Amino acid sequence: MATALFEENRTTAYLKAVVKKAIRTRQNLELQSFLTDARRISNQMIRAKYKVVFPIHDCGEIIVGKRKSRGVWINFDPTSNSQFMQSVRRNRQSQVGSNNFDHGANLQEYRDLPLAVVSVDAANASDAFEQAEAAISTDLGLVSLFLYRGRSIIPENPRTPIARCIIAPHMTVHSPSGALSSQQYWFNHWPQEVRRAGIPADRVTKLLRIVVQYRENLSKLPWKQTAEIALAQHYEAFSKPDGEAAFLGGWRVLETIGGPNFTKSDRLVSRAASFFRDTDYHRDLGRHLQFRRNSVAHGKPIAANDDETVAFQMREFIAPFMWHFISNPFQFRSLDELWSFCDADTERKDRVRKVHILKSAAKFRNESEYP
């Protein structure tokens, strides 16, 4: 649908709004007239300004400041005593106290968390939320590469997300005045075991420097849009408290960074394994993860109680690939070049022979300069 409308980076909510209006335009629905109407409606769609509010858990001073991400502005340090923020807190608290809010969660765990505010131009509140969530998830996805919890000492304990810097429940959309734009709200699962761990000051300084560096690299990538999608997927995967969901989300990240659509799983595994010194061992590990993914996808029963272990294995398996994907240390000009690099022979003698062939070809063609 998005391709047919020639609309890039449109949210599901936006496309639903366009389709709903286009369907109602004519009594007799035909494909060509429908697409014509949809494009016209999309071009005429009125957008309003919204502020989307996210409570942020356990980020310390790593996520700070105001910046633009994926076309919207994120403010991680809104002025707490401003008229807007006072109105936001008052309206959020009023909504929590209403009969519409019933999730059985302990609100004391997160109601006083710092709030991030994302400014969005959108067609409606749902479109605003989806745009804002994609942008803030990209930023938190970058942090999730470096800040995460360790494995549980007692595996039978209830699970908590692997990522430590996460969005807490009760996300709301407001007008620029701070009033709720809709009584609708978004609420993610929040395990009772999640606690603020705190980050030592010296580690905050180090992490902040690393995150800023990678964020700057991200803006220069030839495949910036794909990298942003991968980071948002990384956050979405490892912010989940369920180990199996985190594992499947991690595999989705591998599909995004490992090749174009419909790249075979064997190739994805081989490319991720190529970033490890012990390539053969990690290729075998990747095949184990591939088998697990196929088993889960086809509904086969899993006897082992090892969801958390597999989720951590998936995260560690894709980590080196992700770092290269978002930093591009060898200055590749396209994803095809990056993937060709991943597919290069691991044996030195094989690479030397290929270099010899390339030099010979350049010499044969009387090229004045060749490596």
Q: Do residue 39 and residue 180 come from a single domain?
A: no
148 and 9 co-located in one domain: no
pLDDT tens digits along 131-188: 999 999 999 999 999 888 876 655 544 578 889 888 988 899 999 999 999 888 898 8
Residues 5 and 99 in one domain: no
- The per-residue pLDDT for 308 is 86
Contacts of 320 (CB under 8 A, 6+ apart): 272, 275, 276
Q: Is residue 16 part of a domain?
A: yes
Q: Which two tokens stand for residue 210?
A: 């690393």
The domain in which residue 40 lies consists of 1-45
With respect to residue 186, please indicate whether it lies within any of the assigned structural domains: yes
Give the DSSP letter of residue 81. T
Mean pLDDT value of segment 121-134: 95
Q: Are residues 112 and 12 in the same domain?
A: no
User: Do residue 66 and residue 214 come from a single domain?
Assistant: yes
Q: Mean pLDDT across the stretch 241-259?
A: 94
Say how far apart CA 83 and CA 85 lie, in whole Å: 6
CB neighbours of 263 closer than 8 A, spacing ≥ 6? 255
Report yes or no on 282 lying in a domain.
no
- The neighbour count for residue 111, using CB atoms within 10 Å, is 15
Higher pLDDT, 52 or 19: 52
Inform me whether the pLDDT recorded for 358 exceeds 90. no
pTM above 0.85, yes or no: yes
Element (H, E) at 116: strand 115-122
Long-range contacts of 202-209 (CB under 8 A, 24+ apart): 204/60, 204/61, 204/62, 207/62, 207/143, 207/146, 207/147, 208/61, 208/62, 208/64
59 and 151 share one domain: yes
Query: What is the domain count for the chain?
Result: 2
Max avg pLDDT among 50-59, 141-150, 245-254: 245-254
Q: Render pLDDT for 220-242 as a digit per residue (tens, 0 to 9).
A: 999 999 999 999 999 999 999 88
Count CB neighbours of 74 within 10 A: 23
Same domain, 38 and 155: no
Check pLDDT > 90 for residue 129: yes
Q: Answer yes or no: is 259 within a domain.
A: no
How do residues 189-230 score in pLDDT, each as one tens digit? 776 666 666 677 777 888 888 888 999 999 899 999 999 999
Cβ proximity of 47 and 121 under 8 Å:
yes
Shared domain for 169 and 126, answered yes or no, is yes
* Residue 271 within any structural domain of the chain: no
